[in-house]
Amino acid sequence: MIFTRLRLKNWKCYEEEDLSFDTGITVVHGVNGAGKSTLLEACYFALYGTDAFQTGKSREDAITTGMTELEVELWFIHNETEYRIYRRISDPPSSEYVYSDVEFETPSDIYEKESEVQQKIQRIMRMDAEAFLNCSYVRQGDITRLIHASPADRQNIIDRLLQLGKLKTYRERMEHALRGARNARDEKQTELQTVEERIEHLEEQDLEAELARVNKRLESVSTAIEDLDDDLTTAKDQHDDAHQQLEAFDQKRSELQEVSEKLRTAQDTLDEATEIVSQRQNQLNEAATELEARRAAVANSLAAVDVSIGDTFDDLIDPETIDRSRLNTALNERETERTEIRETITQLEATIERMQYDAESFADRADELQAQASDAEARAESAATRAEKRRTEDLAEKKARKTKLQEAIETTKAQFDAAPDAVEFGDADAYAERIETELSNATQEQTRLTGNINALEEQISHAESLIDEGRCPECGQAVDAAPAVTQLDDKREKKATLESELAALEERIAALTAKEDTAEALQQAESDVAQYTREQQTVTHRIAEIQDGIDRLTQEAQEKQDLATRKSVAAEQWTARADRLTAERTALENTLTAVRDELATVEEEQERLQQLDDALDAYVAAHEQRETKAELLASAQETKDTRASRVTRLSERRAELTATIDEERIELLEEQAADANETIKQLKAERAEKADERDSLTAHRGQIQGKLDDLDTERSRAAELRRQQTTLADAVAQLEAVNQMYSGLRETLRAANVSYLEQLLNSIFGLIYENDAYAYIELDRAYEITVHEKSGETLDPDELSGGEQALFNLALRCAIYQLLAEGIDGKAPLPPLILDEPTVHLDETHVGRLNELVERMRQLGVDQTIVVTHSREVVDSADERIAVSQDPSTNRSRAEVESADLLAGI
């Protein structure tokens, strides 16, 4: 897995940034506080959202100061598939809430819900935000995170990374299921015991015999109720007959009362009608008086205008004879004239307002252009100043650097002229190889001569000892005369010759050794010349770039000066246009005053005409009111006559009803009804007692039958519970076996991983740490870490020095990384290894070892490593470099991908 591109907007100290990443080792470098770590934090935030924020930090803290929202967009490739994730945080000043959006684009879909995105990212990465920190992202100041974690936390972290946490989850689920099965089994046992107790209780009640006794008594009670029902029917018939006759008399009484009530009401309404007739007569008289007043008002208004509404208005009575044509024509003409004048006024006002706005806009435009002219002049001066500065400082510095490099090249090549042998520049390697071969041959010859001399010395020494003992130095036998020493002299002479050859050879070896040093110096000289040449080419390229920059700045200065001149001319033109519009507006304002006076005159004439029109409307309304009042008076008189006739009819009907009512017959019928009613009450009371007894017996019979049904149900339930209990017992046994299997499998896998992880940890720690004080590192199954010294003592990792802890933590993280790579057979995502200031606690020796560690991780399949560092050695080893700088005037950071050759030349 590799990051390919990162885009930022208003992310902390970055205003706008768009970076591309490549495979291999990418080093981010720059001064402290420039924003190097901030780039890595953006990648972390893109993947895991707010989970990536450090404790105590909120979402709005990441937005650039002065801005209200940020955007972070990250592209990455996993398993040859490209993904894009986009996040936005908004903190609008008008709201008390902070909003966040996310969009995760895959080849097949786009996800916008935070929960879905987190699930997708964690499934691809195979780690959550916490696991990413513990394995892939070594954050600044967090180098010893795994060391300081407790064994339990360290175990959880590594288990999650190695996917062992799933087995724990499965076991927890299995334990939950096992507890549920055991609880269900025990509940069924308790329920079965309860059911068996209820069955025993029901069987003791002899329910069949009790049911037969209740049925016999119920039959006797039902017969008695039927007899009482017959007597009750006879009594009800007698009561109903008397009651029907009484109801007939009651109806006549009710009708008499109703007729009497209607008669009183009819008399009241007749009185009301008489009063209304009187009121309507008064209203008609008032309407006639109002009509005369309205007629006089029309005459007064007519005198104030020059129009006619008829030949002789004083004799008019019917409003339909009034002629309004001339009045309506005059009103329409005035309204048209008034509308036209108001439209003219509106147009004049709009024109005046537009001209005033345009004049102000022209003046503002002139001011704006003048300001732009001043700004362009300032920019022109600034560009000229910067061009001169680059010419006198940067360009001069690079030219001096190029001259120094040329001098260094010539000085270095001069070493070949001073060499003891004639060696051409470029032949240093061949010369060194030849000297090395000659030196090797001479050394071998020296070894051979030394061995021969030593052998002769032993032989001579042995022969001399034999002579001293009176023996022959050649055969070792005792002799009477002097021993022969011819061969001994030959050996002594040969030894002297060999020693002379050895002395000459040693002189030659000394000379060759000196030449070997010279060859190495010449090789280094050729390497230095190559380096100087590359630097000289880079400086030459840089000089060309600086000259191009000077030319661009010079051209920019001229362009800005030309722009300032054009802006000044345009500002004068806009000022003249503003003055011209102001004069035209003053003339239009005088015209507007005259038109408004004309409107006042027209409106006065229109008002007088409207008063006449209103007076005519009032006259017509008054005439209609008088006609209406006359019609209402006629209607009221008709109503009065109708109500008088109704009073007469009701009086006659009341007399007829009074004569038909017999009070003695009514009294006799009431006594008969009362006697029948008393008999009915007695029969009902007796029947109710019997009915209550029947209901009680029926209910009791139902209870007995219910208990018999319960008994059958409980017996069936007991059988079912016995079957379920057997099934649950079998399930508990199976779940216990599976649970034990999960537990053993997790411990077996953890033991295997811990053992291999311990081997990797020792191997990697030995690779990056140069110290013979430590024998090995122990990692037990509980993830307890112990450092064993060669002296036999043991240490906790917390007891190591700061640098040692940093190296130890890097080794542990990389060991986990290697275990992931090998354990999942390359299918693990292996995200980029991100190291933020890993060299803070390291000396120069171990910085070099850090490069070896990074290279080892690359060989394991870590396609991308991103390192933030100040170490020059780490920077020089990078495949790609990103330089981060910050503008001190704005505190805004910039990041730029550098050329490795260009960086080496500068």
- Interior CA angle at 413 toward 408 and 415, to 5°? 110
Least confident interval from 275-284, 292-301, 367-376, 882-891:
292-301
Q: Per-residue confidence at 57, pLDDT binned at 50, 70, 90?
A: low
Position 461, amino acid: S
Question: What residues are designated binding site for Zn(2+)?
Answer: 472, 475
Give how far Cα 398 sits from Cα of 4, 410, 652, Å. Answer: 35, 18, 140
What is the value of pTM for the model shown?
0.40
Q: Per-residue confidence at 4, pLDDT binned at 50, 70, 90?
A: very high
Decide: 458 and 466 in contact? Cβ < 8 Å.
no
How much is the pLDDT for 474?
A: 59
Return d(Cα 141, Cα 805) in angstroms, integer.
12
How much is the pLDDT for 903?
A: 44
Position 446, amino acid: Q
Residues 6+ away with beta carbon under 8 Å from 746: 164, 167, 168, 171
Question: What residues are designated binding site for ATP?
Answer: 12, 32-38, 140
Tokens of 713: 């149900």
How much is the pLDDT for 828?
A: 54
Residue where the block lists tokens 């004799």: 315
Tokens of 444: 């071998």
How much is the pLDDT for 838?
A: 76
Asked whether the predicted pLDDT for residue 861 surpasses 90, the reply is no
Task: Report the top-level CATH class of 2-156+830-905.
Answer: alpha beta
Decide: 602 and 338 in contact? Cβ < 8 Å.
yes
Return d(Cα 866, Cα 869) in angstroms, integer.
10
Return d(Cα 695, Cα 699) in angstroms, integer.
6
Three-class secondary structure assignment of 761-812? HHHHHHHHCCCCCEEEEEECCCCCEEEEECCCCEECHHHCCHHHHHHHHHHH
How much is the pLDDT for 10?
A: 92
Residues of the chain with pLDDT > 90, as a percent, come to 6
How much is the pLDDT for 236?
A: 80
Question: What residues are designated binding site?
Answer: 12, 32-38, 140, 472, 475
Going across the sheet that includes 14-20, the strands are: 110-111, 99-105, 81-90, 69-78, 2-11, 14-20, 892-898, 880-887, 24-29, 864-868, 833-836, 137-138
Return d(Cα 881, Cα 531) in angstroms, integer.
20
Q: What is the mean pLDDT of residues 44-69?
A: 79
Residues of the chain with pLDDT > 70, as a percent, come to 87
How much is the pLDDT for 19?
A: 92
Q: Per-residue confidence at 846, pLDDT binned at 50, 70, 90?
A: low
Which residues on adjacent β-strands are paired with residue 28?
868, 882
How much is the pLDDT for 905?
A: 42
What does 268-293 look like in DSSP terms, one character per residue? Answer: HHHHHHHHHHHHHHHHHHHHHHHHHH
Q: Per-residue confidence at 826, pLDDT binned at 50, 70, 90?
A: very low
Q: What is the pLDDT of residues 162-209, one digit of tens each?
A: 656 555 665 666 667 677 777 877 887 888 888 888 877 877 777 777
How much is the pLDDT for 444?
A: 86
Return d(Cα 207, Cα 700) in angstroms, integer.
11
What does 295-360 look like in DSSP terms, one character per residue? Answer: HHHHHHHHHTSS--S-S-GGG---GGG---HHHHHHHHHHHHHHHHHHHHHHHHHHHHHHHHHHHH
How much is the pLDDT for 82?
A: 93
Decide: 309 and 323 in contact? Cβ < 8 Å.
yes
Residues 6+ away with beta carbon under 8 Å from 348: 588, 591, 592, 595
Between 682 and 772, the more confident residue is: 682
Stated as kind and residue range, the H or E segment containing 38 is: helix 36-48
Asked whether the predicted pLDDT for residue 623 surpasses 90, the reply is no
User: Counting beta carbons within 10 angstroms of the beta carbon of residue 225, is it exposed (0 to 12), middle (13 to 18) or buried (19 or more)?
Assistant: middle
Give how far Cα 269 sits from Cα of 145, 274, 645, 778, 832, Å. Answer: 105, 9, 12, 119, 105
Position 116, amino acid: E
How much is the pLDDT for 904?
A: 46
Q: Per-residue confidence at 739, pLDDT binned at 50, 70, 90?
A: low
Q: Per-residue confidence at 75, pLDDT binned at 50, 70, 90?
A: very high
Q: Are strands 880-887 and 892-898 parallel, antiparallel or unpaired?
A: antiparallel
Q: Chain-centre distance of CA 459, in angstroms?
A: 94
Q: What is the mean pLDDT of residues 566-582?
A: 84
Q: Per-residue confidence at 825, pLDDT binned at 50, 70, 90?
A: very low
Q: What is the pLDDT of residues 78-90, one digit of tens each?
A: 888 899 999 999 9
Q: Per-residue confidence at 906, pLDDT binned at 50, 70, 90?
A: very low
Nearest Cα to 593, choosing from 806, 344, 791?
344
Q: What is the pLDDT of residues 516-533, one digit of tens each?
A: 888 888 888 888 888 888
Q: How many CB atoms lie within 10 A of CB 420?
A: 9
Return d(Cα 819, Cα 127) in angstroms, integer.
15
Asked whether the predicted pLDDT for residue 835 surpasses 80, the reply is yes
Q: How many CB atoms lie within 10 A of CB 564?
A: 20
Q: How many CB atoms lie within 10 A of CB 577?
A: 16
Asked whether the predicted pLDDT for residue 439 surpasses 50, the reply is yes
How much is the pLDDT for 778?
A: 84
Residues 6+ away with beta carbon under 8 Å from 128: 48, 51, 122, 160
Decide: 242 and 669 in contact? Cβ < 8 Å.
yes
Counting Cα atoms < 13 Å in the Cβ hemisphere of 152 gives 0
Asked whether the predicted pLDDT for residue 11 surpasses 80, the reply is yes
Q: Which segment, 205-214, 467-476, 503-512, is predicted with the most confidence on average? A: 503-512
Please state the domain extents for the chain. Answer: 2-156+830-905
Stated as kind and residue range, the H or E segment containing 892 is: strand 892-898
Asked whether the predicted pLDDT for residue 902 surpasses 50, the reply is no
Decide: 834 and 136 in contact? Cβ < 8 Å.
yes
Q: Per-residue confidence at 140, pLDDT binned at 50, 70, 90?
A: low
Q: Rounded mean pLDDT of the chain? A: 79
Report the sign of the C-alpha dihedral through residues 755, 759, 764, 769, in that order: positive
User: Counting beta carbons within 10 angstroms of the beta carbon of residue 407, is it exposed (0 to 12), middle (13 to 18) or buried (19 or more)?
Assistant: exposed
Tokens of 706: 């219910």
Report the sign of the C-alpha dihedral through residues 265, 267, 268, 269, in that order: positive
Return d(Cα 84, Cα 605) in angstroms, integer.
78
Q: What is the pLDDT of residues 299-332, one digit of tens each?
A: 787 777 777 776 555 555 567 777 777 778 888 8
Decide: 62 and 89 in contact? Cβ < 8 Å.
yes
Maximum separation of any 2 CA atoms in the chain, in Å: 209
